[in-house]
């Protein structure tokens, strides 16, 4: 892409049309190289800040992104099931005065609730 105004300036300086075009193309190529270098520097700076967020050590994940162990998952699932059993007994003891029919729980519902409790801590 040639800057028409710059080309006119070269022609006004006394360069012929071909030489002015050649100079403009060189300037454009240099500008593109400079833009590419700046983009690379910006990308490296952005990558450095992302490494700080993710975690500097490759073997250690960042805070909040550690994997759950199987024992932790079993513990939370068991606590969730116990809580649901206690809630069901409480409803039976109170006679389910609210009149709402208890919903049948599936394994997926229990797992979803367990994962939600692990995330929120409640």
- With tokens 């050649």, the residue in question is 22
pLDDT tens figures, 5-29: 888 888 888 888 888 888 888 888 8
Q: Does 101 have pLDDT greater than 80?
A: no
Q: Does 120 have pLDDT greater than 70?
A: yes
Give 116's pLDDT tier (boundaries 50, 70, 90): confident
What pLDDT, on the 0 to 100 scale, is given for residue 109?
Answer: 86
- DSSP-derived secondary structure for 31-99: HHHHHHHHHHHHHHHHHHHHHHHH-SSTTSPPTT-PPPPHHHHHHHHHHHHHHHHHHHHHHHHHT-TT-
What pLDDT, on the 0 to 100 scale, is given for residue 64?
Answer: 59
- CA dist 78 to 25, 32, 73, 118, Å? 71, 61, 9, 12
pLDDT tens figures, 39-87: 888 888 877 665 555 555 555 655 556 677 888 888 888 899 998 888 8
Distance CA 17, CA 24 (A): 11
- With tokens 């606590």, the residue in question is 79
Whether this model's pTM surpasses 0.75: no
Distance CA 46, CA 38 (A): 12
């Amino acid at each position: 892409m040639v800057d028409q105004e710059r080309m006119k300036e070269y022609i006004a300086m006394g360069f012929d049309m071909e030489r002015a075009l050649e100079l403009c193309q060189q300037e454009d190529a240099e500008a593109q190289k400079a833009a590419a270098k700046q983009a690379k520097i910006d990308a490296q700076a952005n990558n450095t800040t992302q490494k700080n967020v993710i975690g500097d050590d490759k073997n250690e994940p960042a805070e909040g992104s550690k994997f759950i162990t199987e024992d932790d998952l079993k513990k939370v699932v068991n606590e969730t099931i116990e809580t649901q059993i206690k809630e069901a007994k409480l409803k039976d003891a109170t006679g389910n005065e609210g009149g709402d029919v208890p919903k049948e729980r599936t394994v997926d519902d229990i797992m979803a609730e367990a994962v939600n409790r692990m995330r929120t801590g409640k």
